[in-house]
Structure 1
Amino acid sequence: YTTVTNVLVHNTTFVRPATFYISGFSNIPYDKYYYVFLFFVYIMTVLGNGLLLSVIYLVKTLHTPKYMIVFSLALTDLCGSTALIPKVLDTFLFDRRYIVYEACLSYMFFVWFFASLQSWTLVTMSYDRFIAICFPLRYHRVVTKPAIAAMLLLTWVVSLSLFALAAGLLDRLSFCGSLVIQSFFCDHGPIYRLACNDTSLNYIIAYVGLITVIFCPLILILLTYVCIAIALSRIASGLDRLKALKTCTSHLILVALFFLPLVGTNIAALTSYIHPNARIINSTLSHTIPALLNPIIYSLKTEEVLNPIRKLFKNNRCKNISKYYKCVLVLH
């Protein structure tokens, strides 16, 4: 497959490959059309999240704790898609399937780092909804900018530490057999399974990562919604209950879009056999579709965001019209 380099470190011989080979789909005709579809998904993701980030940054009325969380989600969606899709397109559309060893570890780190940030940002959103519905009178005292900034910073530090450790543990492995990664990117599981020495620590960190990125956030979100459901059941007015529930529907859709494919794919991969093609389709969609739909579902359909966008476009149109009439007057 490729040449390997033997490196002697602390009396232990580590066999590190110069490159890995990313296999992608196996025996699927016209698979390039799928990657073209991912290209259009990426373009729309960049446009949607870029617009949302610009609006939140430019409109001062949106400089609130709630939209700090939305800004963080849009930023991690944009960075996560950028970490994954351009390299996937380069790998398969242009048939550059060999990837340098160090680049492969960096690739794995950034994809899972931003996936972890997306997951915990959804937890922070559920916390915001929990306080707003269960403790509405305390909301502005509890959900403050410093509090939200501290929560978001904590997610960055924990995610950074966890996946730096995962990459470091991969770097201590020897690869003396196959160098073909049975995935569409440098995924953690398919890489460490290629090693020919002890991978017990990598197996443990895979479970820790799974719990940290998927199960722990999902359990916390479900617990917040149990509390929200209890609080809503105590509201006498059905209309007030419906209004409160509507503020949660967008977040619940985002949670379902993000977690269900990831949970299904990873449980199947860890407990039984999942065909590489099925894993690739599930993983690509779970890493890309939520980032595309998040700005549409959560923000770009709300009046708080739509009104500033309308005003920005209206002001630009008025400026263009005024410039046009000034030019006409000068010409006459």
Structure 2
Amino acid sequence: MSSALPHQTVLLQEAVEALDVKPSGTYIDGTFGYGGHSRAILERLGPSGRLLALDRDPKAVAANEIDDQRLTLAHHHFGELAVVVRQAGIDAVDGVLLDIGVSSPQLDEGGRGFSFRFDAPLDMRMDTTQGETAASFLALAGIKEITEVIRNYGEERFAFQIAKKIVATRSERPVTTTSELAALVREAVRTREPGQDPATRTFQALRIHVNQELDQLALVLPQAMDILKCGGRLVVICFHSLEDRIVKRFMRDLASPDRLPKNLPLRSADLPSPRLRLVGKPVKAGAAEIATNPRARSAVMRVAEKLIGNTVGINLAGGRA
């Protein structure tokens, strides 16, 4: 049985406001989910506007109930953004929105294996049509690799003890369910912050690893910048410090002038211009939204606007320029 919470789109109005939607513009929702942001964007688009949406979860794509000719929905992960944009015949867009991380329906559907709240096969794939499951990874990886995944993606200080426990157990029987993994982690982790299950960080780390979430985020950001028009907006919502760190550094670096060797005989007017500007400060969910949707508590939204042409160095074929 699932005790699923109704799906609520986080920072809905704030994100769409940040996109500064133009009625005749072309926009990308790189993380369609259950269509909350896409619906709000479509409400602001005129008859000639266009929205391209992507989602790597086939269930999310199949569940789409938006019947609107202005919307094109593709089953792809956002790391393939350049390929999808080229296939859609789009040259440039006015805005890109990315809502990073696992969705509430994925967490609340017990059979997906994302949560230790349900006894289920240890899957954790957002795209169930391809890739390695969490169970497969744990069956083959060594102690060192498991330790690195749990430590790097879960920031778990007991990563080695957990990895050692997993490898020792699998020599007797395979670890194939969420309940089995959670029990092993709880045995290996003797202390934990009040109110947090000892398995929380391990499950988070395996999910990030299985879905290559940080790698996909690092891939999509330069692709998004490359297809944005001058004045176009990049809006990214993150729920984890590792994700937010990638976005923050990317935007910060492109909002700063290129670093040149000291003592070059150049006037300030001759220095390379920043490629984008930061728009406002990071936005977090307010008290009212958190009260109705506790999962919004960790959300951070960053916004940037493109200032100059295609200088990021990623072409639409997905390679370095």
Q: If the length of structure 2 is used for normalisation, what is the TM-score?
A: 0.27
Give the greater-gyration-radius structure (CA).
1
Instruction: Decide which structure has greater strand share.
Output: 2
Instruction: Decide which structure has greater helix share.
Output: 1
Q: If the length of structure 1 is used for normalisation, what is the TM-score?
A: 0.26
Structure with bigger RCO (C-alpha 8 Å, 6+ apart)? 1
